[in-house]
Structure 1
């Protein structure tokens, strides 16, 4: 039972430094950050900070209590905090009868931990403990994980099978092996290069990341906006996030990946260059009949940015209607 003796409490203000250092500047990134937070509040979500026994604090956005809604835990990827990845999805999910619980993973946003563990299993345990500590959360819920959030979601489903009802994994390369780096499957050759790409500190690194992430990258990316984004979003917890990447990839083998029993929808962009489609096909083979694979055309790794309406529809259909099935091919799925 992951339930700790703690309850959710109003979230504290952001820590000194980080994004607060730039409040005196005219920052497009900070302006967008505030817009995303307003979108969460206008959708009826409130903030809470959940302290855990090991000293970690998990920051959450919580829906209004409503027993008629189906709870769904939304786990963000590596490139941003929760508000940046999930803001466009809140109202459609609520309208479909889902209650979104949206945490910042540890070392993202306002979540932090003094623990030395950097594994996705630790992230999963922290989220599970925080969910169990929140009053009024149903004992079972569905989980959606995007990219790195999918790694956490997978471990959550394996470690807490009584809690996770259904699973949606979006561009989550959980079947990758460290050997895939040397074999040329990825756009990078080793973990250090992956870290410099996913934790960009220079404009050229961020430009390359955008080019790899999007099927159709934005054509207009002014350098002043890129530098502002790096200052605001990419300079906090760099050491800890680098360690998260090493813990994620170093020594990873498919033979060590346990199978999960939950019904799982795998969603992949056909043009994904961060986690190539081979990993989605590999995951479908690994999970077998408990999984369905849908491949989205004209989408890269950033499906949530390039195809938000389509992704939202897939998530809603799969979680709300347990009879939904998808064809295992390279077309946008049709209901059988």
Structure 2
């Protein structure tokens, strides 16, 4: 059978997505959609059984497919030691809102409301790229809720003028959006060339890339464009709030989406509570390109028992959740 005809009746991307769902379930997680009210629903993979003796770990994805694709290969390293939560950010996967707010601050508030609904009041957090923007905002808005923070290739220190001054490898915001939200095989190849030191996309057939785009890159396209625009609009480094949590910054030495200089800026901004680890021969997608080194740094930082207090999703968390549900029910009835 001709490969193009095969792609019409078989989607590798959909099959891979099904495989990740099975692997997440086998890792002890279950898929839950949480209604936060005001037109917002957050989807998250949460523990089937919450172990109150373990700390909580929140894994936030970046732009791309959905949360499963970015953490599927790493999940097994964390589930034996943490209550792991892997949400889809708003307008990714099965999460959405009817509200018009596109800021990372709003995303952070949605994630925290969702975690509260699950009784997880304190957590450690790993954020990749855009997920790190949201994670940083959570650390700034809810300083007492986050114990340790890992930011991977997260350009929170960028400024709007950086794009105008040629700091990035794109001419303007429209070009950046066309690459970050690819709608053709050519643009997906371009994205992979930006994300990897040694991209292999030029050898991948166009029908295969088209299948990936059809399954993963067409939903909420306009809303995702607005998310990217919101990141950059009027952004000034001087307005970035300070955070105090112990922070690990992980960066690919040859990142062409968020250049390494942004990692050094972030280290200087956070100060003594932060450490920067640079992975050689790695680009922006270092979690995929250099998975062993990526996991090594995360384990070394997160598995330090002295700074990983037990989960607070015990009695206090349960009481908070029951009160939250009671209050919502009481409000609805009156």
TM > 0.5 between the two?
yes
TM-aligned CA deviation for residue 24 of structure 1: 8.0
On the 8 A contact 1:198/1:209 being kept in 2, the answer is yes
Q: Does 1:306 align with 2:286?
A: no
Give the helix-richer structure, 1 or 2: 2
Other-structure match for 2:107: 123
Q: What is the root-mean-square deviation of aligned Cα atoms in Å?
A: 1.5
Q: Does 1:72 align with 2:57?
A: yes
Q: Does 1:94 align with 2:84?
A: no
Whole-Å separation in 1 of the counterparts to 2:246 and 2:57: 14
Runs (4+) of structure 1 exceeding 6 A deviation are none
TM-aligned CA deviation for residue 323 of structure 1: 6.8
- The structure whose RCO (Cα within 8 Å, separation 6+) is larger is 2
Residue from 42, 57, 61 that aligns with 1:58: 42
List runs of 5+ in structure 1 lacking aligned partners.
1-22, 325-336
Other-structure match for 1:279: 262
TM-aligned CA deviation for residue 53 of structure 1: 2.4
Other-structure match for 1:134: 118
After TM superposition, the score normalised by the length of structure 2 is: 0.87
Q: Does 1:246 align with 2:221?
A: no
TM-aligned CA deviation for residue 90 of structure 1: 1.1
Deviates more, 1:162-171 or 1:309-318: 309-318
Q: What pairs up with 1:24-63 in 2 under 5 angstroms?
A: 25-63=9-47
Residue from 288, 298, 308 that aligns with 1:315: 298
After TM superposition, the score normalised by the length of structure 1 is: 0.86
TM-aligned CA deviation for residue 119 of structure 1: 0.2
Instruction: Report the number of matched residues.
Output: 299
List runs of 5+ in structure 2 lacking aligned partners.
1-6, 308-334
Whole-Å separation in 1 of the counterparts to 2:11 and 2:228: 28
Other-structure match for 1:262: 245
Deviates more, 1:186-195 or 1:106-115: 186-195
Q: What pairs up with 1:86-235 in 2 under 5 angstroms?
A: 86-95=71-80, 97-135=81-119, 137=120, 139-218=121-200, 220-235=203-218
TM-aligned CA deviation for residue 46 of structure 1: 0.4
After superposition, the Cα gap between the structure-2 partners of 1:24 and 1:228, relative to the gap in structure 1 and judged at 3 Å, is: closer
